[in-house]
Structure 1
Amino acid sequence: MGTHTTHTTHTTGTTHSTDAPHRTDSTARADRSRTVLIIGGRVETVRKARDLGLRVVNVQRPEEYRPEHAELVEAALLADYTDWSVLGPLVTAAHQVYGFAGVTTITEPGVEPVGLISDALGLRGNSHRCARLMRDKEAMRLHLSWRPDAVAAGPVTDREALSDFGERHGYPFIVKPVDAAASFGVRKVEGPEALDAVWRAITDLRGSTDHPFANYFPVDRFLMEEYLDGPEFSVESMSFDGRHVPLAVTEKTTLGTFVESGHAMPARLSPADEDAVLRCAAESLDALGLRHGPAHTEVKLTGRGPRLIESHSRPGGDRIMDLVDAAYGVDIESYVSGWAAGVLPALEGRPEPRAAAATRFLTAEPGRVSAVEGDADVRGQDGVLGVDVTVAVGDTIRPLEASWDRVGQVLVTGPDTDAAVALGEQLAGKISVITTPDGS
């Protein structure tokens, strides 16, 4: 059967669609029941949805739309999907044509649009209220403030608020942007002598556009939180009609800037501590109203027990999805679309590990890249899942202030977590990104 392609440009965005004419009514009904709306994300998300037999309508920013998308999607809505005044009319009109069975995303900027769409179209998904609570760190802390394990927090309104918080809750404490991500702008306030410098940093960062994701994460409001001491973990989970199924507990290592330097699973925890971390995550998801799909919940195991750092209604970044697939055989990215569209069943219980998996990140001194060495040799080593080097000769390396300032990662598997971590550290150490100071 032939196809036709139409391109329609509006002031609110661009629609590219590929549709087959003259379908029978039964075919059209079948198509409508198997069409998923994907907000943002990578090409692989679309490809995996297609592998499940789904038709895909993809909303992308125009600058992030790739030829590979066009080969896979039924239609593309090219627009700023964080602007509901643009997205709402586009999606509503597209729903009349395609009849979405579900809506989903794997990206942090996409979670609130997905909530708005779920509410507006009556699709299976988390509410916008839930999505907003899990995006707005201040709203989340306020919403959970009644819990016995609540973390003391408050907004940074002025310089005096910093001093007052330190007097009430002690030092050190944490200051971070309310709506940012990737550890950007997070600072540890060691004592009263640091308050002036922290206030200057907050003032400088407000309204800043000098970072790669300024369009997605505008820096405006800041939050203060009591400092949580102890090892950090994340719980990767899928939720099915309010039933939370843990997929993995991931242990983390971080740098002094709070930027994560590595992940590994299964986490090396005693059964009692693992149960405590899982319980903290599940209770937090219940309290935040999450009912469907993936979650990435960060927890610190303090001397007073587990405490929630943050939770996100999307899969973990840093290729944690790939680690879960390697260690547990669960493809979160497929489940994101498959559950939303109703073509994959709910998982009955937590999967058993079949291996261990780890990643270690690559960093480099600030400056201009003059050479990248060792990555080709590492790619051929046994146990390597992947090697990403995200810079090339001539690129400029920024100071390490957020996750996006790292320069790559090595992903590996092993028979146990000790072995996977050791291999990841060994192989990451074989890759060098050499820089020279700018201007030299």
Structure 2
Amino acid sequence: MPLQTINDRIAVVVDGHSTGALLAPAFAAFGIGCVHVANRTEASPAHLRTFAPETYRARYDFDGDWPRLLTALRAHPVAWVIAGTDSGIAVADRIAHELGITRHNSPATSHIRRDKSAMQHAAAAAGLPVAWHTTAHTAADAADALRRNGGPAIVKPLRSGGTDGVQLCTTPEHAAHAAHQLLASRTIYGEPNTTVLVQEYLPGDEYMVNSLSADGHHVITEMWRSHKTLVGSSPVYDYAELVPAAHDHGTVAGYVQSVLDALGIRWGPAHTEIIVTPRGPRLVESAPRPQGTLDVSALTRATGRNPVTDTVHTLIDPGFLTSAALPTTPVVRAARGVSLICPATGTLRTDLDWPRIRALPSYHSLLTTIAHAGDKVRRTDDLFSRPGAVYLIHDDPTVVETDHETIRTWERSGFYDIEEDAPAPR
């Protein structure tokens, strides 16, 4: 049964998955109902599992037939349109344009907010320093890129997310192998990888920066310093730590705000990843949607603010953002999101000991779908193959640090009892 609301106006959520699944309940909390559009031309099984159909008044599939979709949506008094995740970005932009919604980003520039090469070019064209980057249509192209520019470099899909297919390559031969694998595969959204991005490896601290925008006015809402570790040649998330705005001194925030301008992000949420190198900040990627795989309750406890309700409030009332009501979010407690790292692919022999993790002094929450003997697990090589994430929050940062190290010690000493799959025949 859909959430019941009184307001006649409707919000459209395109691909309301991951954190985007919370947008419809947030609109309902403001008395506004939602309809959902599923972009079937880009569908991620990992994201589809997070869909909550009961939160919508109506649901429509988009399979490329624009007249049919727009006819269905015009039956509703639509006042707002928002993408829940990357696959909804371009569709949401066009829906808003076709329906005459003003509080949204232009569909003329949607491609630079999805294509990781195009966004780098847009940032460079705006005068921002960026990493060297090039596209590769063949394995030989990728190898040539490293020969010309030197290594190491990152090879990754042009249009994907969550570290899908990302590999750190140190030699031309390694880059050729990574590109060959990618070009023979599809992204998590089901699209064929016809071209890959080869991009300079950037040493330095990585930041995940969340923001809200209203008519081109940008507010940085929170900032996470991200740490990765290598599993083979794949960089996977170790943990992300919430950092106060004062830590930045404006360097990261100013660069991100310029990136948002360069990419034409004028309305709504954005999630931007950058690395602060010895030469200054450099863009990794940015997307106009909420941060994915986020435990909103953890962020609310750590900062006192809710990023999803702030997003909806800003779309309904842009003055909320431009007034003093939404300063950069303070950090009131130490918070860390720890990605669990599974060492092998196979079947669990015994239940995972989640009660032991829940008993940690700084434990806040656990995000996982794996628990019991018989469950299949994968060796962690990207965001979607991790067995879960643990949010740690405490008034004392040293308690968070200690609990994080405890989790890693357990993982190294038999936390996962796995009957490994037989290796694939050569």
Same-fold call, TM > 0.5?
A: yes
Q: Deviations over 1:165-197 (max 9, x none)?
A: 224322212221111211122222213xxx234
1:44 match: 22
| TM-fit CA distance, 1:390 | 2.3
Matched, 1:258 2:223: no
What percentage of residue pairs aligned between the two structures are identical?
Answer: 24
Matched, 1:69 2:53: yes
Question: Aligned partners of 1:50 and 1:134: how far apart in 2?
Answer: 28
Question: Aligned partners of 2:385 and 2:116: how far apart in 1?
Answer: 22
Question: Aligned partners of 2:296 and 2:115: how far apart in 1?
Answer: 23
Task: Between 273-282 and 422-431, report the one with greater CA deviation.
Answer: 422-431
1:104 match: 82
TM-score using structure 2 length: 0.84
Q: Deviations over 1:369-421 (max 9, x none)?
A: 22233212433555432112322432332332221110011112112544434
Q: Deviations over 1:2-29 (max 9, x none)?
A: xxx9xxxxxxxxxxx9999xxxxxx8xx
Among 264, 277, 285, the alignment partner of 2:260 is 285
Q: Deviations over 1:320-361 (max 9, x none)?
A: 644432222222222333333449822542122222211111
Question: Aligned partners of 1:182 and 1:165: how far apart in 2?
Answer: 24
Question: Aligned partners of 2:292 and 2:177: how far apart in 1?
Answer: 30
Question: Aligned partners of 2:290 and 2:3: how far apart in 1?
Answer: 29
Among 350, 354, 379, the alignment partner of 1:375 is 354
Asked whether the 8 Å contact 2:337–2:392 carries over to 1, the reply is: yes
1:230 match: 204
Among 267, 278, 281, the alignment partner of 1:306 is 281
SS of match in other structure, 2:59: strand
1:13 match: none
Question: Aligned partners of 2:258 and 2:173: how far apart in 1?
Answer: 37
Matched, 1:433 2:416: yes
Q: Deviations over 1:90-145 (max 9, x none)?
A: 44223322111101122111112111112222211112244321210111122222
How many aligned residue pairs are there?
A: 401
TM-score using structure 1 length: 0.82
Asked whether the 8 Å contact 1:360–1:410 carries over to 2, the reply is: yes
Question: Aligned partners of 1:309 and 1:18: how far apart in 2?
Answer: 38
Asked whether the 8 Å contact 1:358–1:417 carries over to 2, the reply is: no
| TM-fit CA distance, 1:221 | 1.1
Among 70, 90, 93, the alignment partner of 1:92 is 70
1:220 match: 194
Asked whether the 8 Å contact 2:155–2:196 carries over to 1, the reply is: yes
Question: Aligned partners of 1:168 and 1:205: how far apart in 2?
Answer: 21
Task: Between 221-230 and 57-66, report the one with greater CA deviation.
Answer: 57-66
2:221 match: 247
1:206 match: 183
| TM-fit CA distance, 1:306 | 1.2
Q: Show structure 1 runs of 5+ residues with no match.
A: 6-16, 21-26
1:324 match: 299
Task: Kindly report the root-mean-square deviation, in angstroms, between the aligned alpha carbons of the 2 structures.
Answer: 3.0
Q: Show structure 2 runs of 5+ residues with no match.
A: none
Q: 1:258 to 1:68 in 2, by over 3 A?
A: closer
SS of match in other structure, 1:111: helix
Asked whether the 8 Å contact 1:241–1:292 carries over to 2, the reply is: yes
Q: Which has the larger radius of gyration?
A: 1
1:140 match: 119
Q: 1:344 to 1:433 in 2, by over 3 A?
A: farther
SS of match in other structure, 1:141: helix
Among 127, 131, 145, the alignment partner of 2:110 is 131
2:320 match: 345
Q: 1:332 to 1:66 in 2, by over 3 A?
A: closer
| TM-fit CA distance, 1:429 | 5.0
Q: 1:173 to 1:94 in 2, by over 3 A?
A: same
SS of match in other structure, 1:373: coil
Q: Deviations over 1:41-71 (max 9, x none)?
A: 245332222122111112247994899523x
Question: Aligned partners of 1:416 and 1:281: how far apart in 2?
Answer: 29
Q: 1:103 to 1:145 in 2, by over 3 A?
A: same
SS of match in other structure, 2:337: strand
Q: 1:96 to 1:134 in 2, by over 3 A?
A: closer
Q: Deviations over 1:230-256 (max 9, x none)?
A: 111111111121111111120111121
| TM-fit CA distance, 1:363 | 2.0
SS of match in other structure, 2:173: helix
